[in-house]
Structure 1
Amino acid sequence: MNESIDRTDLRILELLQRDGRLSNADLAQQVALSPSPCLRRVRQLEQSGVIRGYAALLDSRRLGLGLQAFVTVTLEKRRDTPMHAFHAAVQSAPEVLSCFALTGEMDYLLHVVAEDLEHFSRFLMDRLLKLDGIANVKSSFVLQSIKNTTEMPLAQIAR
């Protein structure tokens, strides 16, 4: 644990990750601080990068993006494999919500959203598979979301 983060900071983080729109006055009240010191702590957590930003969590299905897939990608095992081109392509693809470099059999895991199977197919065939250095791609479609959270397990952190 970061030594500069104390119990009050952890409580602030717990509350903000549940409701990023919480006013400073309400936040201060819930962590038993006056508003000024509470705001200073929040600003410090932001400046240190512990709080990376604030966002609205959207429902992909209600936006017409009803298909979710996890796509594993393996690159060709050559020294000149254009990894940077792959990274740039993934960064610029709006369908890709997240991309992780992995150990093991596959090199990358992508979380992809699309309107439907046709949209996903266009993304896969017209963009992903046309990249140089792609050796293998496997897709698994999400049937049901059992757990999907952005909350870090702060209660697990030694206090």
Structure 2
Amino acid sequence: MDDKDRQIIRALQKNGRMTNQELAELVNLSPSPCLRRIRNLEARGAILGYAASADAAVYGLPVTVFVRIKLERHNEKDVQHFEARIKALDEVLECHVLTGQTDYQLRVVVADLDSYETFIRNRIHPIGCIASIDTSFVYGTVKKTAVFPPLN
């Protein structure tokens, strides 16, 4: 991947709806080479897809929660079971494997505190193999972006 490919990716991350003509002008390419680069980036898996960025609160899910989970055991069966169950939960937008005191961090969105309690009691607890759950509620966001920083 070269700097021109990175420019294309950053531009599309900022505005995935721009036309190929607009993108080509922005990154100083003619339209045909620009489109070839986009298709190549898609084929190589550098561009994973295109999506609309939506406001969770306006959608009806104003509560964002970071949930840190520690497993009881780290055997293959429990890890696979836990990860498969988490992947099936719509409320979980992200799940990251961590180093340190906890094993996973989830980003969860819900409508309210009662919905979060229901989520934990009815969706997380039944998974089993969980040693501890630590919750942090987001009460403000300072920065949120999907645009990668430029490489130096």
TM-score interval for Structure 1 and Structure 2 normalised by the shorter chain: over 0.9
The residue aligned with 1:41 is 37
1:80 offset after TM fit, Å?
Answer: 6.3
Q: Is the 8 A contact 1:96 1:111 kept in 2?
A: yes
* Higher helix residue share: 2
1:47 is displaced (CA, Å) by 1.0
What does 1:10-29 align with in structure 2 at a 5 Å threshold?
10-29=6-25
Deviation at 1:141, TM superposition (A): 0.3
* Runs of at least 4 residues off by over 2 Å: 77-81
TM-score (norm 1): 0.91
For 1:30 and 1:148, how far apart are their aligned partners in 2?
A: 23
| 2:60 maps to amino acid | G
Q: By how many angstroms is 1:122 displaced?
A: 0.6
After superposition, the C-alpha distances for 1:126-156 in whole angstroms (9 at most, x for unaligned) are: 1101212111001110010111111111x2x
Q: CA deviation at 1:78?
A: 5.4
User: Match of 1:130, SS?
Assistant: helix
Structure 2: runs of 5 or more not aligned: none
Say if 1:81 and 1:133, in contact at 8 Å, map to a contact too: no
Work out the number of aligned pairs and report it.
152
Coordinate RMSD, CA, aligned: 1.3
Distance 2:53 2:19 in 1: 18
The answer for the alignment partner of 1:87 in structure 2 is: 83
- What is residue 116 of structure 2 aligned with on the other side? 120
Q: Distance in 1 between the 2:41 and 2:77 partners?
A: 39
Distance, in Å, in 1 between the alignment partners of 2:116 and 2:46 is 34
Q: Deviations over 1:41-61 (max 9, x none)?
A: 011111111111111011000
Distance (whole Å) between structure 2 residues aligned to residue 123 and residue 35 of structure 1 = 48
The amino acid across from 1:138 in the alignment is D
User: What SS does structure 1 have at the residue aligned with 2:58?
Assistant: coil
What aligned pairs does 1:1-159 form with structure 2 within 5 A after superposition?
A: 5-77=1-73, 79=75, 82-153=78-149, 155=150, 157-158=151-152
Question: Which structure 1 residue ranges, 5 or more long, are not aligned?
Answer: none
Q: Secondary structure at the match of 1:21?
A: coil
In the aligned structure 2, how far is the partner of 1:78 from the partner of 1:6? 40
Give, as a single letter, the amino acid of the residue that structure 1 aligns with 2:143: K
The one-letter code of the counterpart of 2:97 is A
TM-score using structure 2 length = 0.95
